[in-house]
Amino acid sequence: MNSLTVTPQGPLRGTIQVPGDKSITHRALIVSALAEGSSTITGYCHGEDCLNTLRALQALGVSIQVDSDKVLVSGKGLSGLTEPEQPLDCGNSGTGLRLLAGALAGQSFCSILTGDSSLRSRPMGRVVTPLRMMGAAIQGRKGGELAPLAIQGGALKGITYHSPVSSAQIKSAVLLAGLFAEGETRFSEPLPSRDHTERMFLSLGIPCEVERQTLVLSGRPTFAAQDLVVPGDLSAAAFFIVGASLVPDSEVTIVNVGLNPARTGILDVLGEMGADIRILNRRVQGGEPVGDLVVRHSPLRGISITATQVPTMIDEFPIFCVAAALAEGETKVTGAEELRVKETDRIHTMATELTKLNVAIQETPDGFILQGRANVKGGPCLSHGDHRVAMALAIAALTGDAPITIHDTDCIATSYPQFHDNLLDLLTFSH
Ligand code: S3P
């Protein structure tokens, strides 16, 4: 329950490296555990979310050695996991719980997945429904809508599933279960979500093709472990991209950032708002596009965001709200109701906290309307236990004229344990 006080103190300047991508780290750990043979994952995310997935895999009998920059996973193959003695605690992580549910649906033993109070209130029916259709027996509170989930896996069969929600977590749960299924698994969704799982499958030689907007996976492949490299997390970089855009005289370089096109909505939107972002050294690493970002201060204009843009910047809305609060003119977001079922209801938490800081923001059922050019005022505010809300408020604090204290900031370690160090590096470098 720590707190963080941030005082406005001039530009952000210097070069940083953000943590490894959280989404890719979860996938790298799970897929390596199911592969035949050992592999090294370099640049993994040290955030608590990913460490919970790592510990869950260890409890499933996978040997994982942890080093400062890499982990060594001894893969057990598709049928090598063993029954855990205790419930598997995924902490705050929807990705960890939903992806593990997919992998555990194919196991012939019983396992229980749970997490903290936030995770136990998030919708799980969205993965339970297709996994049951594939043949897994899953019990949970409210008919399987809420964790803890008890999964008795077994002989799965491939299904054709159209998800009502665009979600990489649903897609990845179905694809991971599809590895164990007899026959083909076909998956489609309204708008494309991030495709890290598909890219990783392909790089490991697991056939996973797109046929007219439907993903097709052939079940029961054998695949050998392969060393994986995790790029920096664009969702972590976004805090300093917005910070550098907003604070006059700033210039920040963020090296080695993942630029998967299903994730770069925030760069496109900030660019349209007037941000000065250059991408250098574009390259492909482990099947994922990567580059270095140079961001300079630039005045921003308000913008309208609609449903089609939402999946490509789904995790960036808390920090996007801060960008919009300082931009010239109005910003309107629609079609973003998924924000209400994230680590917190991010429409409500951001509206509540930004209102405390003197920002004119009005909630709507599926988004918000925000008036820019706010005079951000100092004082206390609250993260609500949501890591991205905490970091967004810390960046907002750089734009006002009095310190802001954010309460309940332990949650930052969920995805970005070195956030405060990186912030101090960029502020110190400028003095
Ligand atoms: C994630 C997918 C997104 C995102 C989450 C990570 C993933 O969730 O919000 O932080 O790693 O698959 P949905 O795709 O379910 O919206």
Residue pLDDT, tens place only, 222-249: 999 999 999 999 999 999 999 999 999 9
**pLDDT value for 307:** 98
Specify whether 208 is located in the same domain as 255. no
Protein residue closest via CA to atom 16 of ligand 1: 167
Q: Quick check: 59 and 103 in contact, CB under 8 A?
A: no
Q: What is the best residue among 25, 53, 166, 167 to mutate for testing ligand 1's pocket, by most ligand atoms within 8 Å of CB?
A: 167
Say if residue 8 is preceded by a cis peptide, omega within 30 of 0: no
Interval 365-390 mean pLDDT: 98
* Ligand 1 atom nearest residue 172's Cα: 12
Q: Please tell me the distance between residue 168's alpha carbon and the centre of ligand 1 in angstroms.
A: 5
Domain count, the chain: 2
pLDDT band per the 50, 70, 90 thresholds, residue 168:
very high
* Ligand 1 atom nearest residue 315's Cα: 9
Specify whether 370 is located in the same domain as 236. yes
Protein residue closest via CA to atom 4 of ligand 1: 315
Specify whether 166 is located in the same domain as 244. no
The domain in which residue 187 lies consists of: 22-224
**pLDDT value for 431:** 55
Specify whether 198 is located in the same domain as 251. no
Could you report the per-residue pLDDT of 381-403, keeping only the tens digit for each? 999 999 999 999 999 999 999 99
92 within ligand 1 shell (Cβ under 6 A): no
Kindly list the catalytic residues: 315
**pLDDT value for 154:** 87
Interval 401-418 mean pLDDT: 97
Specify whether 128 is located in the same domain as 272. no
Specify whether 92 is located in the same domain as 212. yes
49 within ligand 1 shell (Cβ under 6 A): no
Specify whether 16 is located in the same domain as 33. no
Domain boundary among 198, 224, 250: 224
- CATH number for the domain spanning 37: value is 3.65.10.10
95 within ligand 1 shell (Cβ under 6 A): yes
pLDDT band per the 50, 70, 90 thresholds, residue 318:
very high
Could you report the per-residue pLDDT of 126-139, keeping only the tens digit for each? 999 999 999 999 99
Protein residue closest via CA to atom 13 of ligand 1: 167
Specify whether 55 is located in the same domain as 71. yes
Specify whether 279 is located in the same domain as 316. yes
**pLDDT value for 430:** 60
Interval 330-350 mean pLDDT: 98
Within 8 A by CB and 6+ apart from 428, the residues are none
Interval 323-350 mean pLDDT: 98
Distance CA 213, CA 404 (A): 46
pLDDT band per the 50, 70, 90 thresholds, residue 428:
confident
pTM over 0.95: yes
Specify whether 268 is located in the same domain as 219. no
312 within ligand 1 shell (Cβ under 6 A): no
Domain boundary among 202, 224, 246: 224
| Residues of the chain above pLDDT 90, percent | 98
